[in-house]
A and B are shown apart, each in its own frame.
Chain A
Amino acid sequence: MRYYVKKIVSLIMVLFLIMLLTFIAFQVIPGDGAISRLGVDATDEEVEALREALGLNRSLPERFFSFLGGAVHGDFGKSYQYSKPVSELLTARLPATVGLAAISIILILVISVPLGLLCSRKEGGAADRAVTILTQTLMAVPAFFLGIIITLVFGLILKWFQIGGYIDPKVNFTGFLQYMIFPAAAVAVPKIAMTVKFLKTSVLRELKLDYVRTARSKGNTERVVLWRHVLKNALIPVITFMGMVIADVLAGSIVIEQVFNLPGVGRLLVVAIGNRDYPVVEAVVVYIAAVVLIVNFIVDLLYQKVDPRVRMR
């Protein structure tokens, strides 16, 4: 119980710190939000009226707590550029980003676990060496370059998908999946390479332990030893690793959404930065950071569920 309380308290503290840092970051910007919206030609009265409306004339702590209070309720104010509530913009962009992340993570898990086991079955064998060279190379390919290559090969040459032809999941879910598989592959492939490598190291470490010898001496086949006995233990460190991968996938999707023209949260952020639409930038930053933190929080809880030794520390 104490473990959970400690974890939750530290989660809330870090979330608070993130909000504080994000808030401060956007206060440092030289210039005034009101002037930047109205332009330098605006009269003093106009600027003053807008400052009043935006709440810019209140004291810093006051503004921080109203930002914090709003954020807790999911209210991040209005976008300068679209004059719409930021939360509305964010919700509209969620399906693409969540879909991209979910499909990528499924791809990573489904492909890397069998591949990792295959490599560790015969260390130094032909399959292992081929996969090692392949993973080493793929890890070096930035996701957005991979995305460009996928666009070229599957979009332009083979015409398996229409470039920029994102389909809303509410309109046609299969069409959405068919389109999303390509950006998801661009995000997933480098991560698959990393996960395979990590899993292999983890399995090889487990294979040296006594319980594996016991399992073998009981007459289990190598397949049963690997899948039933070793995999369970070897996956424990992989859970933490997956937490990092999920954070990476979210961050990586910022760039990938640009490559495949997906109307996701990442594109919202990039466009907002270009237009100096600070409420949107603040909201997206807090949102992504919070998701990453919560994912890591869940990973920690999972970790101690599967490995009770962690609780002792």
Chain B
Amino acid sequence: MKKQNQKNWSLIFGIVLVSIVCVFAFVGLFWTPYEPTAMSILKNKPPSFAHPFGTDNLGRDILSRVMDGASTTFLISVITVTIGLVAGTVVGAFTGYYGGIIDELLMRLNDTLTSFPSILLALVFVSVIGTGKYNIILALGVIFIPSFARVVRSEYIVQKELDYVRNAKLLGAGDLRIMFVHILPNTKPILLSSLTIGFNNAILAEAGMSYLSLGVQPPDASLGEMLSNAQTYLLNAPWFALAPGLMIVFTVLGFSLISENLK
């Protein structure tokens, strides 16, 4: 009973955190208190009533930039994970269901790709196709395919031997129908959990890349880009680094608490 209780608290805390950051990011898509790129003479000012998170080195409102940056980072992560999820599911479904030589080959390729640390792979992509918002989406999206493919594939290998699949076959269902109408819904629990983990990884990867100035390019704000900027003014304006950093921490913590409870 006590354990159950504890779990519920951590789930609630996770949902609260995620809701807060989602509201920030969602509102940031349409409205921010100030124009995120508008400069003023109030440089590196600590948090005040007019600027709740203070201002940065160019006198820009940090709250507005965090909202804008969070929505950029979230948007990139959502699209990235969607690319990984859809492509990974299709690849995983076909290879897991049919097996054979193509499965063997693709899984070798998969092993090779996953043996690269993901940030390294993203760096390779970016050095080939260039930096910027859309290239980061493409790079990270492709990088997330193998991990989803692997999870889905192993699930399909188990499911395809089960009775309900045989029954469906006997009733004359085609392979595609079995794969995507019958089996796919049963992979939902495992997909949900890898989805939250994938989303966190995407947030961290985007932030890392933009921190290295190889992701989102200024004047676009992203959480990582803000952090890299803030480091120069750490002593005079620590709030500049704390706001985007804590935003990342809350997001990742919230999603990981939720994913923990999904298991």
A149 at the interface (CB under 8 A from B): yes
Task: Given A22-B124, A148-B227, check contact A292 B111 (CB 8 Å).
Answer: no
Tell which of A21, A124, A148, A292 touches B117, judged by Cβ atoms closer than 8 Å: A292
Question: Per-position contact with A for B99-122: 1 when CB-CB < 8 Å, else 0?
Answer: 000000000110110011111100
Question: Per-position contact with B for A15-42: 1 when CB-CB < 8 Å, else 0?
Answer: 0011001100110110000000000000
Question: Per-position contact with A for B108-151: 1 when CB-CB < 8 Å, else 0?
Answer: 11011001111110011111100000000000000000000000
Task: Given A17-B109, A136-B256, A148-B227, check contact A296 B115 (CB 8 Å).
Answer: yes
CB distance from B216 to the nearest CB of A (A): 15
B66 at the interface (CB under 8 A from A): no
B253 at the interface (CB under 8 A from A): yes
CB distance from B243 to the nearest CB of A (A): 11
Task: Given A137-B253, A148-B245, A292-B117, check contact A273 B214 (CB 8 Å).
Answer: yes
Task: Given A17-B112, A152-B241, check contact A254 B124 (CB 8 Å).
Answer: no
A195 at the interface (CB under 8 A from B): no
Task: Given A250-B117, A258-B211, A269-B123, check contact A140 B238 (CB 8 Å).
Answer: no
Q: How far is the CA of A144 from the CA of B109 in the complex (A)?
A: 30
B32 at the interface (CB under 8 A from A): no
Q: How far is the CA of A141 from the CA of B116 in the complex (A)?
A: 22
> Do A124 and B3 touch (CB < 8 A)?
yes
Q: How far is the CA of A269 from the CA of B126 in the complex (A)?
A: 12
Residue of A nearest to B127 (CB): A273
Tell which of A250, A255, A288 touches B211, judged by Cβ atoms closer than 8 Å: A255
Residues of A within 8 A of B128 (CB): 25-26, 28-29
B231 at the interface (CB under 8 A from A): yes
CB distance from B165 to the nearest CB of A (A): 26
Q: How far is the CA of A305 from the CA of B19 in the complex (A)?
A: 48
Tell which of A18, A28, A142, A281 touches B252, judged by Cβ atoms closer than 8 Å: A142
CB distance from B74 to the nearest CB of A (A): 16
A160 at the interface (CB under 8 A from B): no
Within 8 A of B (CB), among A116-138: 124, 136-137
B208 at the interface (CB under 8 A from A): yes
Residue of A nearest to B2 (CB): A124
Question: Per-position contact with B for A137-174: 1 when CB-CB < 8 Å, else 0?
Answer: 10111101100110110001000000000000000000
> Do A270 and B214 touch (CB < 8 A)?
yes
Q: How far is the CA of A79 from the CA of B68 in the complex (A)?
A: 39
> Do A254 and B253 touch (CB < 8 A)?
no
Task: Given A26-B128, A148-B245, A247-B117, check contact A142 B112 (CB 8 Å).
Answer: no
Tell which of B208, B238, B241, B256 touches A255, judged by Cβ atoms closer than 8 Å: B208
CB distance from A136 to the nearest CB of B (A): 7
Question: Per-position contact with B for A266-302: 1 when CB-CB < 8 Å, else 0?
Answer: 0001101110101001000100110011001000000
> Do A248 and B117 touch (CB < 8 A)?
yes
B212 at the interface (CB under 8 A from A): yes
> Do A255 and B119 touch (CB < 8 A)?
yes
Task: Given A144-B227, A288-B120, A289-B116, check contact A276 B127 (CB 8 Å).
Answer: yes
Task: Given A17-B109, A140-B256, A148-B241, check contact A285 B3 (CB 8 Å).
Answer: no
A259 at the interface (CB under 8 A from B): yes
- Interface residues of chain A, those whose CB is within 8 Å of chain B, are 13-14, 17-18, 21-22, 25-26, 28-29, 124, 136-137, 139-142, 144-145, 148-149, 151-152, 156, 247-248, 250-252, 254-255, 258-259, 269-270, 272-274, 276, 278, 281, 285, 288-289, 292-293, 296
Report 9 cross-chain contacts, Cβ distance below 8 Å, ordered by A residue. Answer: A14-B111, A17-B112, A142-B248, A148-B241, A151-B234, A156-B235, A247-B115, A254-B123, A270-B123
Inter-chain pairs besides A144-B208, A254-B212, 20 sampled, C-beta below 8 Å: A14-B108, A14-B112, A17-B108, A18-B112, A18-B116, A29-B128, A124-B3, A137-B249, A139-B252, A142-B252, A145-B245, A148-B227, A151-B231, A156-B234, A259-B231, A270-B123, A278-B127, A285-B124, A289-B116, A296-B115
Closest 6 A/B residue pairs (Cβ): A251-B117, A140-B253, A140-B252, A145-B245, A273-B127, A17-B112
